[in-house]
Every structure is written in C-alpha cells, then in structure tokens.
C-alpha cells in the first residue's frame, strides 16, 4: 500500500502539472469506487470547477476545488493518480478521469480497483479526518508530543507506529526501518520503552520518512508504475535470512497485525 512518501510524491507531481487547471468534465468509470456516494453526483459537482490546491493528510489525497469542495482520493493497494497529456488516451485500469482544460487529464489508475473517491464540502474535512494522528514531517510532531502519546500505549512498537491514529501515513516498510534505526524490538510495548529510546525513535521516524519522500519523488519521475519503497535502500524489510548490515546476524520475519515485520533480533532489543 502506498504510504506517506509515495502519496507525497503523487501530490507534488500533481501540483506541478495540474494546479490551476479547469475541470471540463469528470467521469467515474467504475462507480463502486465512490460508494456510498453516487458517482453521477460527483461527476456533476466537479464539472466546471478549478483545481486550486493539492494537499495530503496521512495517506489521503485532497484535491481542493473552487467553490469550497474537495475530492478525497485514497489510493489503497495499487492506485495511482497522475496527469496524462491527452484525456482520451487512458488505460483499461483507469477508474476515474478528470478532463482538464487544454485536453489533458488527471486519471485515477487502479488495477485492483480497491481505491476510493468521495466529494466533500471543505467544512466537513476537519471532522472527517479528525481520527488521523499527527503528521510526522510537520511541526506538531515534536519529541515531547510523541513521547506523551507513546507512554500511554500498551501496543507493540510496530503496531503502534502502523496505527494511523498514532502517526499519520507511516506504512509497514517505513515503520520497520525506523525501528531498526532506533534499535527497538518491534514486539516491545511502547509504554515499556525508555524516554531516551523514544527520543531516538522519533528522530528515526523523521529521518526515514524524509529520505523516503525524496526516493519516492525520484521513482515517480521515471516512466511506468512505481511501488512503495521502490528506490529506498531498505535495511531490514524483505531481507529475511540475510545478514544484518550492523552485526551480521540473520534478519528475521514475524507476523504482526496481519502483516510481515522484519527486524534484527540481535540489534533490536
């Protein structure tokens, strides 16, 4: 699933290529992506508006349009949102297309059709997104705030980081990498981690995500599809049985919360 770095890369490119464009027509080619809203109602509401801002909240892409409405897009597992030079030329896996002025188009390409779109008045968004935790690359994500939240949680470290109410947008790969950098066992309850180690983990989260955003931007600039952490130099994720870069011991994989967690049992305690 695309995490914060990949979603941020999508937003940056949309800002560069589509900001200020008029939406001449909106077409939802697979109505199921808009449920429980009606696809036809979204199409009518978007037509004639201007794309005035592209924002990200957690893993949500917010296409803010004129007259105070926002199209919320969640990419889920295989979605991508990008500009094509000709609105008429789109692949069979495109689920939504916005016909822009000048003949271009913004397309929501999603082979597995798991992504979702919905339209909201701007005033609805604070309540709609209120359950999402602090943005880890924002000023609100301070060491003190992170420590206070972490010390109240009994969750294992990896599951805490994956909870979008704890930290916005931190996906499976980057959570594992941040814990490796901080030398923290992903199974350890957050409330049992010392304040000093939590400070280190806070720094690692920020450092990993900053590097991952830049790698995602580079990957997205290349032709074709791109995947999570495609250009990011992972230290543990996907390396089961391979030697740890620090100690040489074998990387281990365990299931956690229905996902795979990779870590070094020697370095991460």
Higher pLDDT, 90 or 96: 96
All CATH 3.20.190.10 domain ranges of the chain, comma separated, are 4-128
How much of the chain, in percent, has pLDDT values that exceed 90? 89
> Quick check: 61 pLDDT over 80?
yes
Query: pTM, whole model, 2 decimals?
Result: 0.92
- For the domain covering 4-128, report its CATH number: 3.20.190.10
The CA-based angle 74-89-67, given to 5 degrees, is 50
Region 92-98: mean pLDDT is 95
> Quick check: 99 pLDDT over 90?
yes
- For the domain covering 143-263, report its CATH number: 1.10.8.50
All CATH 1.10.8.50 domain ranges of the chain, comma separated, are 143-263
> Quick check: 114 pLDDT over 70?
yes
Spell out the residues 6+ positions from residue 26 whose beta carbon is closer than 8 angstroms to its own. 42, 43, 46, 47, 96, 97, 98, 99
Contact 193, 157 (CB under 8 A): yes
Asked if omega into 185 is within 30° of 0 (cis), the reply is no
pLDDT class for 225, splitting at 50, 70, 90?
A: low
pLDDT class for 89, splitting at 50, 70, 90?
A: confident
Region 55-69: mean pLDDT is 96
Question: What pLDDT is stored for residue 224 in this prediction?
Answer: 56
Residue 260: strand pairing partners: 255
């Amino acid at each position: 699933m695309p995490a914060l770095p990949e979603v941020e890369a999508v937003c940056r490119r949309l800002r560069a290529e589509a900001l200020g464009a008029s939406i001449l027509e909106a077409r939802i080619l697979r109505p199921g992506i808009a449920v429980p809203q009606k696809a036809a109602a979204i199409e009518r509401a978007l037509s004639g508006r201007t794309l005035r801002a592209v924002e990200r909240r957690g893993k949500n892409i917010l296409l803010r349009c004129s007259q105070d409405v926002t199209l919320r897009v969640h990419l889920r597992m295989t979605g991508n949102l990008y500009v094509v030079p000709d609105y008429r030329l789109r692949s069979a896996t495109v689920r939504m297309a916005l016909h822009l002025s000048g003949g271009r188009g913004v397309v929501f390409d999603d082979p597995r059709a798991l992504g979702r779109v919905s339209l909201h008045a701007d005033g609805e968004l604070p309540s709609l997104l209120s359950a999402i935790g602090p943005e880890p690359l924002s000023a609100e994500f301070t060491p003190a705030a992170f420590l206070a939240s972490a010390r109240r949680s009994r969750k294992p470290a990896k599951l805490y980081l994956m909870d979008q109410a704890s930290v916005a947008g931190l996906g499976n790969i980057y959570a594992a990498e941040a814990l490796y950098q901080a030398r923290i066992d992903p199974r350890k309850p957050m409330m049992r981690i010392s304040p000093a180690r939590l400070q280190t983990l806070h720094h690692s989260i920020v450092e990993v995500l900053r590097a991952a955003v830049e790698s995602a931007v580079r990957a997205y600039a290349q032709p074709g599809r791109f995947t999570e952490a495609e250009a990011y130099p992972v230290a543990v994720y996907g390396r089961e049985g391979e030697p740890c870069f620090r100690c040489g011991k074998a990387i281990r994989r365990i299931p956690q919360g229905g996902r795979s967690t990779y870590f070094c049992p020697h370095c991460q305690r």
